[in-house]
Amino acid sequence: MPISYELIAQDEKTGARAGILHTLRGDVLTPVFMPVGTCATVKTVSPDELKELGAQIILSNTYHLYLRPGHELIRDLGGLHKFMNWDRPVLTDSGGFQVFSLADLRKVQEDGVRFQSHIDGSYHFFSPESVMEVEEALGADIIMAFDECSPWPCDIKQVIAALERTERWARRCKEAHKNPSQALFGIAQGGLYKELRLKSTQQIVDLDFPGVAIGGLSIGEPKPLLYEALDYSVPLIPVAKPRYLMGVGSPDCLVEGTARGIDMFDCVMPTRMARNGTCLVPGGRMVLRNAKFERDERPIQEGCGCYACRNFSRAYIRHLLKADEILGIRLTTIHNLYYLTHLMSEMRQAIIDGSFSDFRREFWQQTDSYVR
């Protein structure tokens, strides 16, 4: 088996669980946040820095790597791990979300999706079979099935069509997948219609993938609806399989997703925020570009062990950001990723210690910049 999941502990009052995702390139302690390296790099951060801040596994994007530099080139150069000098696990998404977010640049058909490149307008075609070919060439440890993500809001007929196509494409992906060293995860859809979400989740579970991802959430819907969808769909996923909530990375959603039994998360949010000069801190967010930090000699977060907080002041990092110096966004990126990886490790330890409910309550007591 390319991967297996081992349950270590589970919170008695919630669905939160701590486990180990065993892979051929090492163990991943869960719950885990995966930094996103869209184009085979987490923006502004080196692989060594990712390891230092606690990253265990990263995500790269099939759509972007297919367009540039091309999956065949990456395969010929030894695969994604060698190409980017990362010896820990990698997950590649299928590119489905990127393709379907192109709106007027794509056309969905039963055999696949015809789309135009956002780079040069050239035409391309993704099918379940071709996506498996691309992901196998990239060589990630975990790869995702090609799915159709329905938008929000969306009428029920469109959601039904998307989830039924997602199930048919999942079967085709499974048939086309040939590399035994890669674990292929299926993706459940269903929008925010309970009966459809339950149906799609059960369909993917029945196909017996080694892991199940929950897709089609965190795309603009109110957070209470996201949590409600998790409440009724996560229990359908077998205990022995990792559960992956796609595209979620704000601290509040990480806490609430973990409380509902999710093991894996990813999102571009912390790195994107960092490039805008915004840092994650206990209780909310700190916009370092604000004038009030001009003479502030304190670190971004008191007591934080990240490289940025150990060495530099808010005033200095603000100066770098205002001067458009690259080091500024490198430091804010390092801090945000460190904050999230350590939030996950703290939750894991709380689950093991039997204190997760207390951790969750204390998190919300100090958090005033997020909305449930």
Q: Which of 11, 141, 263, 266 is catalytic?
A: 266
Query: Strand, coil or helix: what is 32?
Result: strand
Tokens 């980017």 sit on residue: 84
Active site annotation includes 93: yes
Which position among 11, 93, 252, 263 bears the catalytic label? Answer: 93
The conformational region for residue 220 under phi > 0 = left, psi -120 to 50 = alpha, else beta, is left
Nearest to 94 by CA among 271, 273, 247: 247
Q: What 3-state DSSP class applies to 325? A: coil
Q: Rounded to the nearest 5 degrees, what angle is found at the Cα of 188, between the Cα atoms of 359 and 84?
A: 75
Helix, strand, or coil (residue 165): helix
Whether the link from the prior residue into 222 is cis, omega within 30° of 0, is no
Q: Is 168 exposed, middle or buried (0-12, 13-18, 19+ CB in 10 A)?
A: middle
Give the distance from CA 236 to its chain's centroid.
21
Residue with structure tokens 């808010």? 314
Residues 6+ apart with CB under 8 A from 120: none
In whole angstroms, what is the distance from residue 98 CA to residue 319 CA? 35
The conformation of residue 292, written as its DSSP 8-state character, comes to: G
User: Judging by beta carbons within 10 Å of its beta carbon (0-12, 13-18, 19+), is residue 99 exposed, middle or buried?
Assistant: buried
CA 247 to chain centre: 5
Catalytic-residue membership of 266 = yes
Distance CA 166, CA 152 (A): 17
- What stretches of 135-241 adopt beta strand conformation (E)? 142-144, 183-188, 212-214
Q: CA–CA separation, 367 vs 252, rounded Å?
A: 8
Which residues does the annotation mark as catalytic?
93, 266
